[in-house]
A = this chain, B = another copy of it.
Amino acid sequence: MGQDAAWGAAPAERADAARNRLHLLATARQMLAEQGADRLTMDALAERAGLGKGTVFRRFGTRAGIFRALLDDDEQVFQQQVLSGPPPLGPGAPPVDRLIAYGWARAVFLIERRDMARAALDGSQPVPTGPRTPMSHVHIRMLLGQLDLGGADLGMLVVQLAGALDGPVLLYLSSDELASTPEGVAARIGQAWQDLVERCF
List the interface of chain A (C-beta within 8 A of B): 38, 64, 118-126, 129, 131, 134, 137, 150, 152-153, 155-157, 159-168, 170-175, 188-189, 191-193, 195-196, 199-201
Contacts and interface: CB of A to CB of B under 8 A. Distances in A.
Nearest to A150: B195
A188 to B, nearest CB: 5
Contacts of A164: 160-161, 163-164, 167
A122 B118 CA distance: 8
A41 to B, nearest CB: 13
A167 B163 contact: yes
Contact of A38 (B124, B173, B199): B124
Contacts of A122: 123
B196 A160 contact: yes
B125 A175 contact: yes
B191 A153 contact: yes
Given A38-B126, A126-B38, A196-B200, A162 B157 contact: no
Contacts of A173: 159
| Interface core residue of A38, A129, A171, A188 (most chain B CB under 10 Å) | A171
